[in-house]
């Protein structure tokens, strides 16, 4: 049996579900786009090619192999985008929470049944229908669980709003020993301003460091809470263009090792100056779908 254990974003990774880009399907029609960045590339004719995305994900898998991480992959569903495994489920402590995601994506959950079968049924949580939540909005961080949300009245009309108030309440009930801290995110049909998930504008790292983008947060006090929590001197503030390019969506294999996109020059230099080992891989094609390294992973066990 898989003994789930995730209490933060950085402890040494033992096992993970990495999505797949195989049989990714045709280029979506504009009205099928889930997010403004994908739409932008569909309209521009620059939507990523399957073969390029498969190569990028293979590079990620090789890094996991290098560090001895056990990697599960979803079963390949024909003509289905299965890259972003973080959207479909996430782990907090010893519980795996299945996300109530966009209805079109239910079959992605079926593709990881071989993983779910290794988990004690009592440790799999299925939130009620009214709870909308995706893993990109949920970050366990020791005593805290950080949750990105959007609670304005136009929530139902915002395709980029993925985690609602009911989700914050549900997570608080399931983990009464944790402090659940929610952050209102900026939602927009303009890709350069849209914070699709919390991990699009914030990422805690080892060594007490964090990546932040101020404009991703709707409420300035909530942004400042994070600045105070980590300390201004420990924060790498990214620009709106860097948020658009997904600079905050890196992935920690351990407190010392960060996987990052090879084009993130300014960030990767800073990480190395802070003493991190930076594993650079190509991931810029996948980034065109408004997701990057953290989005493609579902950590199951961290030390």
Does a structural domain hold residue 259? yes
Query: CATH number, domain at 86?
Result: 3.75.10.10
Counting residues of the chain whose pLDDT is more than 90, the rounded percentage is 74
Give CA 38 to chain center in angstroms.
16
Interatomic CA distance for residues 7 and 209, integer angstroms: 17
Interatomic CA distance for residues 291 and 283, integer angstroms: 10
Task: Show the domain range for 174.
Answer: 13-302
For the chain, the domain total comes to 1
**pLDDT value, residue 161:** 60
CB 297 within 8 A of CB 1: no
**pLDDT value, residue 240:** 93
Does a structural domain hold residue 7? no
Mean of pLDDT over the chain: 92
Interatomic CA distance for residues 101 and 147, integer angstroms: 16
Does a structural domain hold residue 237? yes
Averages of pLDDT over each 10 residues, the chain, 303 residues: 97 98 86 77 88 96 98 94 93 95 77 96 95 94 96 64 88 98 86 82 98 96 98 97 94 98 98 98 91 96 97
Does a structural domain hold residue 6? no
- Phi, psi (deg, nearest 5) at residue 267: -65, -50
**pLDDT value, residue 172:** 98
**pLDDT value, residue 24:** 83
Does a structural domain hold residue 8? no
User: Quick one: tokens of 214?
Assistant: 């101020």
**pLDDT value, residue 85:** 95
Does a structural domain hold residue 292? yes
Does a structural domain hold residue 207? yes
Does a structural domain hold residue 3? no
pLDDT in tens, 80-139: 889 999 989 999 999 999 987 666 677 889 899 999 999 999 999 999 989 999 999 999
**pLDDT value, residue 72:** 98
Total residue count of the chain as it appears in this document: 303
Query: Within 10 A of 117 (CB to CB), how many other CB atoms are there?
Result: 10
């Amino acid at each position: 049996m898989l003994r789930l254990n995730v209490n933060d974003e950085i402890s040494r990774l033992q096992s993970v579900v990495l999505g797949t880009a195989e049989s990714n399907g045709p280029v979506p029609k504009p009205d099928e786009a889930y997010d403004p960045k994908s739409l932008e590339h569909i309209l521009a004719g620059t939507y990523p090619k399957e073969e390029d995305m498969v190569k990028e994900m293979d590079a990620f898998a090789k890094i996991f192999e290098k560090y001895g991480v056990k990697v599960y992959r979803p079963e390949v569903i024909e003509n289905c985008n299965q890259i972003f495994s973080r959207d479909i489920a996430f782990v907090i402590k010893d519980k795996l929470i299945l996300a109530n995601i966009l209805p079109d994506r239910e079959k992605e959950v079926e593709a990881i049944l071989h993983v779910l079968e290794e988990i004690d049924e009592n440790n799999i949580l299925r939130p009620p229908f009214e709870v909308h939540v995706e893993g990109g909005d949920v970050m366990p961080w020791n005593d805290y669980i950080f949750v990105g949300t959007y609670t304005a009245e136009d929530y139902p009309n915002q395709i980029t709003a993925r985690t609602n108030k009911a989700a914050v309440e549900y997570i608080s009930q399931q983990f009464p020993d944790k402090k659940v801290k929610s952050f209102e995110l900026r939602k927009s049909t303009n890709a350069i301003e849209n914070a699709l998930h919390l991990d699009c504008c914030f990422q805690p790292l080892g060594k007490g460091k964090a990546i932040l983008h101020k404009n991703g947060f709707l409420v300035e006090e909530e942004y400042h809470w994070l600045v105070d929590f980590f300390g201004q001197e420990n924060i790498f503030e990214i620009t709106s263009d860097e948020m658009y390019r997904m600079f905050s969506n890196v992935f920690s294999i351990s407190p010392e090792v960060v996987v990052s996109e090879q084009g993130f020059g300014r960030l990767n230099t800073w990480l190395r100056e802070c003493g991190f080992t930076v594993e650079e891989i190509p991931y810029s094609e996948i980034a065109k779908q408004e997701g990057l390294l953290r989005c493609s992973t579902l950590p199951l066990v961290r030390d």
